[in-house]
Amino acid sequence: MAMSTKHLLVLTLGLAMAATSSAVVYKVGDSNGWTILGNPNYRDWAGNKTFHVGDTIGNFAAVHYKMP
């Protein structure tokens, strides 16, 4: 019984680590970035992405923005 509990714990930790290590950082607008030039369609941009829990959407230096 103790061995089964140990295996279950290792399996659970392994799955949790795999889920968090697969997170993706998406740069909004890809190479164009977040811009209004050229009238980008961000709905189309987001429509061909598959987002998951833990992913980051954006890619900006917070030092350039006043955060509330």
* Residue whose tokens read 């993706």: 24
6 within domain boundaries? no
Residue 27: the pLDDT is 84
Please tell me the total count of domains within the chain.
1
Mean pLDDT of the chain: 76
**Backbone φ, ψ for residue 20 (5° rounding):** -75, -30
9 within domain boundaries? no
**In contact, 59 and 27? CB cutoff 8 Å:** yes
User: Region 29-58: what's the mean pLDDT?
Assistant: 83
- The count of residues in the chain is 68
52 within domain boundaries? yes
66 within domain boundaries? yes
48 within domain boundaries? yes
**Whole-model pTM?**
0.48
**Sign, CA torsion 55/56/58/59:** negative
5 within domain boundaries? no
47 within domain boundaries? yes
Residue range of the domain that includes 62: 24-68
